[in-house]
Amino acid sequence: MSQWKKITIRVMRYVTLLLIVGFVALLLIYTSGSNRPFEKVEKSVEASLDKENMKRQDGTALKRNFGLNAADYDGVMYYSSEFSISSEEVLLIKAKSETQTAEISSAIEERIKTRMNDFEGYAPESVQLLEDAKKSVRGKYVFFAAAPGAEKYLEIFNNSL
Amino acid sequence: MLFSSITFLFMFLPIVMAVYYLVPNGAKNIVLLLASLFFYAWGEPVYVVLMILSIVLNYFCGRDIEANADNPKKAKLSLVFALTANILILGFFKYYGFLLDTVNSFLTTDIPYRVLPLPIGISFYTFQAISYVIDIYRKDAKPQKNILYFALYISMFPQLIAGPIVRYADIEEQLKMRKVTLRKLGQGSMYFIIGLAKKVIIANSTGAVFEEVAAMSTGSLSVLTAWVGVFSYAFQIYFDFSGYSDMAIGLGKMFGFEFKKNFDHPYVSKSATEFWRRWHISLGTWFREYVYIPLGGNRCSVSRNIFNLMVVWTLTGMWHGAAWNFVAWGVYYGVILVMEKYVWGASVEQLPKPVQHIYAGAVILVGWVFFFSPSLGYALRYLWAMIGGGSGIADAQGAFLLFTHWLLFVIAAVGSTAYGRKLLNNAVRFSANRTVRMTVGAVLYIGIFFLSVAFLVTDTFNPFLYFRF
């Protein structure tokens, strides 16, 4: 093997390792969760919510609307509209394990689908909220917002981690 | 994507098989590689990049070790670089959170940190990559010049996410040339169907029983319920993992590969030592080849051998997960294996065989308690319940679970032994007539397949335990 080829191979190892480090750094910045307690994240998100049209719901509502048991998770914060013609809602869950985040994610997708069918044809504003809804899975945290301020809520959620 | 999913069974697999069998031999590896990357990206659209980078890194590491083969010192440095990089990547994703949690808990600090989900299969493909660079360093294998073939070795979807851990030296020739025949396709399909049935019918059903027991507090468990729970888990994890391994081996055969078996009826063992020769064989082989023997194996003093065994078993425990219960599980087996080797192994061998089976069964079941427990405290409380420290000897819950699932337990117990497959083979071979045998075999296996699919469609409980490792 020529010296030139040997050097290329050696350099490629370092380049690839650097790429891996860079990739992990990007993941940490944009997709990671955190070990922050649920109460702290909840407090930040809850403080930012426009609660004029939304009311905090209990585990029964979570079960009814998403099919999820609040007791299965480390923490749940669920706000939804008091009016049946509005699709406005914000959900924050800290799962006990990362495997639970997939089931929460599916439940949210299912909820969006159902609500779209419910509002299709007679409540275009609610349909628009669902189309613009924000969902994010960061580590054990799952965040979902279908609300006029969804973008802002998501940003606050990301910053609170 | 799970093997035991409708998407895999009726979309992914048929399409990949059709394309694979239609393209010329020279293109088969490319088809399989693309299918494998798609398979992984389906579940891990982000981490597929990490796997590709890991492939490229290890490819160049292998080439670098080869380039320095004439200079042992440089070759060793190159190997150390490869091992360090692989261990750091695995360690970061798997143990970094655990490490900081431990520090926070011991020092009562609150060091904040960012967490990333564990990439599926990282423990398996990293171990394969490590086996590759070590095999090249030892000159047990030649470095793969074709990066696409090497990528296929690391990412091959049948064994990518849950093993078996295939040593590069074992598969080197097959990557270049292998026979793809209809006979192998048939054999592979049979393996796959049996694996699917083990997973979907037995593991999921026993898993559902275990979930019921696990949902109860340890203080409310009677002896009967606790034992029903631990037996259910033992069957779940065996049929889950060995089922997945059978599916992987079967898929490998369908694509012309031969993977070594990963399980050999571990529950018929008469000691913990024998159990570990029969359970997750590819992992045991990996640790023996790449950790135990390099540490000195058993060709050393007794104290050094005990040290080697404890290192290997602590690492084996940690490989299964970043939690103290896995460390305890590994140390537990380390101690038992040391004891069997140096203290009571010979005495156990003198006991009547049924007693040896009971001894091994007890050791294995206690081990599973450490394994499934979310914490060490829970494990100890569960063990306490198993000997009567919970809620009495028997209760309605335990009796209900036992009487409503006794047939499942009988099938699982028979299926855990060689008799299970023997019964199936006898059913197929009852006639001397070849046509009758083939017809019966086809009907039987197709029947098992559709029964498994029926379970898949109707059952919502379809976890896979070894994904988290």
pLDDT bracket for residue B97 (50, 70, 90) = confident
Average pLDDT, chain B: 92
Task: Say how far apart CA B252 and CA B258 lie, in whole Å.
Answer: 6
Task: Say how far apart CA B119 and CA B43 lie, in whole Å.
Answer: 10
pLDDT for residue B360: 97
Q: Which residues of A touch B (CB under 8 A)?
A: 1, 5-6, 9-10, 12-13, 16-17, 19-20, 23-24, 27-28, 31-36, 98-99, 101, 139-140, 161
pLDDT for residue B468: 62
- Over 90: is that where the pLDDT of B225 sits? yes
pLDDT for residue A82: 81
pLDDT bracket for residue B55 (50, 70, 90) = very high
pLDDT digits (tens, 9 = 90+) for B169-183: 888 899 988 988 888
- From B225, B235, B271, B228, select the one nearest B363 (Cα to Cα): B271
pLDDT digits (tens, 9 = 90+) for B294-310: 999 988 999 999 999 99
ipTM of the complex: 0.85
pLDDT digits (tens, 9 = 90+) for B115-156: 888 888 999 999 999 999 999 999 998 999 999 999 999 999
- From B250, B36, B62, B95, select the one nearest B164 (Cα to Cα): B250
Q: How many CB atoms lie within 10 A of CB B327?
A: 20
Q: How far is A3 from chain B (nearest CA, A)?
A: 9
Give the amino acid at A10: R
pLDDT digits (tens, 9 = 90+) for A75-110: 999 999 888 788 899 999 999 877 788 889 999 999
Task: Say how far apart CA A110 and CA A135 lie, in whole Å.
Answer: 13
Intra-chain end-to-end CA distance of chain A, in Å: 51
pLDDT for residue B179: 86
Residue B218 carries which DSSP code? G
pLDDT for residue B115: 81
Rg (CA), chain A: 21
pLDDT for residue A121: 81
Report the residue of chain A nearest B46, measured CA to CA. A27
Angle at B172 between CA B168 and CA B174, to 5 degrees: 125
- Over 70: is that where the pLDDT of A142 sits? yes
- Over 80: is that where the pLDDT of B163 sits? no
pLDDT for residue B3: 84
Query: Which residue among B61, B92, B115 places its CB closest to the CB of A13?
Result: B61
pLDDT for residue B460: 64
Annotated catalytic sites of B, by residue? Answer: 320
Task: Say how far apart CA B337 and CA B298 lie, in whole Å.
Answer: 13
Structure tokens at A155: 């940003």
Q: Where are the alpha helices (DSSP H) in B108-201?
A: 122-137, 147-155, 157-160, 168-176, 182-197
Tell me the pTM.
Answer: 0.85
Does B297 touch chain A if contact means CB atoms closer than 8 Å? no
pLDDT for residue B456: 87
Question: Considering only A50-54, B84-88, B285-289, B416-420, which range has the smallest mean pLDDT?
Answer: A50-54
**Under DSSP, is residue A158 helix (H, G, I), strand (E, B) or coil?**
helix
Percent of chain B past pLDDT 90, that is, above it, reads 74
pLDDT bracket for residue A161 (50, 70, 90) = confident
pLDDT for residue B467: 63
CA distances in angstroms from B274 to A19, A27, B52, B152, B314, listed in the order given: 44, 43, 37, 33, 18
Query: Which residue among A12, A20, A28 places its CB closest to the CB of B60?
Result: A12
Angle between helices B376-386 and B353-372 (to 10 degrees): 140
pLDDT digits (tens, 9 = 90+) for B415-453: 999 988 888 888 888 778 888 888 888 999 999 999 999
pLDDT digits (tens, 9 = 90+) for B75-95: 999 999 999 999 999 999 999
Phi and psi dihedrals of B141, rounded to 5? -150, 160
pLDDT digits (tens, 9 = 90+) for A11-39: 999 999 999 999 999 998 888 888 888 99
pLDDT for residue B50: 96
pLDDT for residue B463: 63
Structure tokens at B150: 């090497």
74-93 in chain B: CB under 8 A from chain A: 81, 85, 89, 92
